[in-house]
């Protein structure tokens, strides 16, 4: 059986110091300091006017689905080998989670399986 490579976090002393500093010093009046610095840095790096950071990917998927107006009557396809964070936000907005098979070699969503999961229930643009 092939093994799928998995990467772990890459953390340097700089990240350790930032985390320690945030835990020691960002309370009450400075609670959002690191968040503001991160968002400002991202706007400059990407070249946009606004950036919003979230505490985890589940929140990002949830907000993305809301922004796309996904809801009751809609379905969203996710691979069947996934984390709860992929599927749970779909239920948060009232849509249906549809699980598609994965390719046993790549562990990525199998194109043939995806095709069979797609139905037309919504008018196009």
Q: What is the residue range of 111's domain?
A: 57-117
| Whether residue 24 is found in the same domain as residue 74 | no
Sequence-distant (≥ 6) Cβ neighbours of residue 20 within 8 angstroms: none
| Whether residue 41 is found in the same domain as residue 65 | no
| Whether residue 62 is found in the same domain as residue 113 | yes
In a domain, 122, yes or no: no
pTM of the model: 0.68
| Whether residue 39 is found in the same domain as residue 61 | no
Residue by residue, pLDDT tens for the chain (125 residues) are 667 677 777 899 999 998 899 888 877 778 788 889 999 999 999 999 999 999 889 999 999 999 999 999 999 999 998 889 999 999 999 999 999 999 988 888 898 898 888 876 554 54
In a domain, 18, yes or no: yes
Dist. CA 28–CA 13, nearest whole Å: 26
**For the chain, how many structural domains are there in total?**
2
């Amino acid at each position: 059986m092939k093994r799928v490579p998995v990467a772990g976090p890459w953390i340097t002393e700089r990240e350790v110091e930032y985390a320690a500093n945030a835990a020691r010093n960002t309370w009450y009046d400075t609670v959002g300091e690191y968040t503001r610095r991160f968002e400002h840095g991202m706007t400059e790096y990407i070249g946009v006017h606004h950036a919003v950071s979230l505490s985890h990917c589940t929140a990002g998927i949830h907000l993305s689905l809301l922004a796309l107006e996904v809801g009751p009557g809609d379905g969203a396809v996710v691979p069947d080998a996934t984390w709860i964070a992929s599927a749970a936000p779909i239920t948060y907005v009232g849509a249906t989670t549809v699980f598609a098979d994965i390719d046993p070699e790549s562990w990525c969503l199998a194109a043939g399986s995806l095709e069979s999961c797609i139905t037309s229930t919504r008018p196009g643009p």
